[in-house]
Amino acid sequence: MRGIRGAIQVEANSAAAIASGVEELIGSILKSNEITPSDVISVFFTSTADLTAAFPAAACREMGFANVPLIGSVEVSVPGALDRTLRALLLVETDRKPEQISHMYLRGAAALRRDIAQ
């Protein structure tokens, strides 16, 4: 089992923007790590306090994660932190070694992890 991290900054606090961000982030994680929803044990989402229009887990469920436990929470509100940001931690079944895992930091969230941003 491995953990895969990722984050994305979305354009607006709207259901459409949140869904689009989840689809891009989770889709990128799946593709780059050559996994499918059936390989995923669970997904933990956080979103910044300014994202209130939709639950990230709802968009993920629409991507084929109907049988995967999904949960969300509000990210710690730190002054000066990046706004409109969704983060995800996927626990997955894989034979990959830690250095073979691709963590995805997309759009403005690339600033969070410049060392591994995509």
CATH number at residue 84: 3.30.1330.40
Residue 8 has a pLDDT of 97
Q: Tally the domains of the chain.
A: 1
Nearest by Cα to 22 from 61, 60, 72: 60
Q: What is the pLDDT along the chain (118 residues), one digit of tens a residue?
A: 999 999 999 999 999 999 999 999 999 999 999 999 999 999 999 999 999 999 999 999 999 999 999 999 999 989 989 999 999 999 999 999 999 999 999 988 888 876 665 5
Nearest by Cα to 41 from 2, 97, 88: 2
Range of the domain at 12: 2-113
The helix or strand, by DSSP H or E, that contains position 17, with its residue range, turns out to be helix 15-32
Cα–Cα distance for residue pair 41/54, rounded to 1 Å:
23
Indicate yes or no: pTM above 0.85. yes
